[in-house]
Amino acid sequence: MQLLAAPTVVIEGRLTRPGWILFDEFIREIGAGVPPARVQEAATGIDTLADGVLSPGLVDIQINGAFGVDFAAATDDEWIRVAQQMPSTGVTSFVPTLITAPVEELTGALEAYRVLRPRLEAVPGAARTLGLHVEGPFLAERRRGAHRAELLCDPQPQLIEAMIGAATGALTYLTLAPERAGALEAIQLLTGAGVRVSLGHTDADHRTVRAAADAGATLVTHLYNAQRPMRHRDPGTVGAALTDPRLTSGLIVDRHHVAPIAVQIAFRSAPGRIALVSDAVAAMGMPAGSYELAGEHLEVQPGLPPRRADGTIAGSALRMDEAIANAVLHCEVDLETAVNAATLVPARAVGRGDLGILKPGAPADLVWLGEDLITRTTWVGGQPVRTCDHAPASTAGAQP
């Protein structure tokens, strides 16, 4: 067993200074202060981190692609390559996202992922995939963002049932606009089959959002972006999301999608219900250039988010460790809250309370974040799988 001590450890969601952890594949013991003699004697190896913070492995529950790979068009080998490279960003678990496409294409992709999933799970050192997120095609045209208007449609029962049947447990959550015809019934069908529902790309007012939560919706996709804003006489999707305790909202903190003060408002209004997400596309981890998202051409300029030819922002090139750094260093979010928003909160939001937390019995998925909050070393299942000795190509220094 390995004993790792650090000046700061996030133990069960709380910053502990200093702290230690004894682990093999799983966390065996964890505590504050100096490791007791009996723990040191039980260890076969002892290391002490000089600085930074030892965190649970990061959990990204919305990511469209990375390292030059778009999940919508990925081969099996490309899926595996991305899963192997994700720990370089501190991510040890993620939910790949497929955006709007014809339903028959989405069902085919769900079936293909379901077949591939055991192979992904067997790859040593790869980040864990936690099922898929399908974003669309049941979205509002007015708030469609980068989604293709001609592919949007109502969530008819036969379409929902086709997706549920194709997934066979591999569909973790689906984003829809709750104001579309049949949406509340679709939410009930999905949640009845064990699929979580997120509200996004929506022009819903606060009453419709509350009705969707009554029907079983528990998530909101990229808060503020592509949804009805909050106004003093029209609280909109944003107002409902920030005040309804049943809803956990994803938030893209790349300093482009959401202004720092809006980030502060979200965290202060909905403590414990904001999950940092990357919403990254294939450009994440890559130099500026041309990429694709579900067949759509994207251009990425240095320090800027990806954009379609018409100028629409389409996802990000954000890393999850950068999201933490942006939240802490530029948005006045405290370190404990920011780390939890990238670990504990998203893991719980998708039903994985065993991940995103350092406690006895949990998988030993860990990340050492340096003083700059960028990944230095990552462990998956107790094995060090990626050490980074250079800063990433980042949007963290960009101006909002």
Digit-by-digit pLDDT tens for the chain (400 residues) are: 999 999 999 999 999 999 999 999 999 999 999 999 999 999 999 999 999 999 999 999 999 999 999 999 999 999 999 999 999 999 999 999 999 999 999 999 999 999 999 999 999 999 999 999 999 999 999 999 999 999 999 999 999 999 999 999 999 999 999 999 999 999 999 999 999 999 999 999 999 999 999 999 999 999 999 999 999 999 999 999 999 999 999 999 999 999 999 999 999 999 999 999 999 999 999 999 999 888 889 999 988 999 988 888 999 999 999 999 999 999 999 999 999 999 999 999 999 999 999 999 999 999 999 999 999 999 999 999 866 543 333 333 333 2
Catalytic residue, chosen from 203, 244, 279, 321, is: 279
Same-domain pairing of 255 and 268: yes
Residue 279 designated active-site: yes
**Reported pTM:** 0.95
Same-domain pairing of 163 and 294: yes
Answer whether residue 392 is part of any domain.
no
Same-domain pairing of 282 and 366: no
Tell me which DSSP letter residue 152 carries: -
Same-domain pairing of 32 and 121: no
Answer whether residue 343 is part of any domain.
yes
Answer whether residue 315 is part of any domain.
yes
Same-domain pairing of 245 and 296: yes
236: left (phi over 0), alpha (psi -120 to 50) or beta: left
What's the total number of domains in the chain?
Answer: 2
Same-domain pairing of 244 and 370: no
Long-range Cβ contact pairs of 263-271 (< 8 A, separation 24 or more): 263/327, 263/331, 263/333, 264/331, 264/332, 264/333, 266/223, 266/224, 266/242, 267/327, 267/331, 267/333, 267/337, 267/341, 269/242, 269/243, 270/241, 270/242, 270/243, 271/337
Answer whether residue 395 is part of any domain.
no
Same-domain pairing of 309 and 382: no
Q: Which domain holds residue 226?
A: 57-349
335: left (phi over 0), alpha (psi -120 to 50) or beta: alpha
CATH (domain of 269) = 3.20.20.140
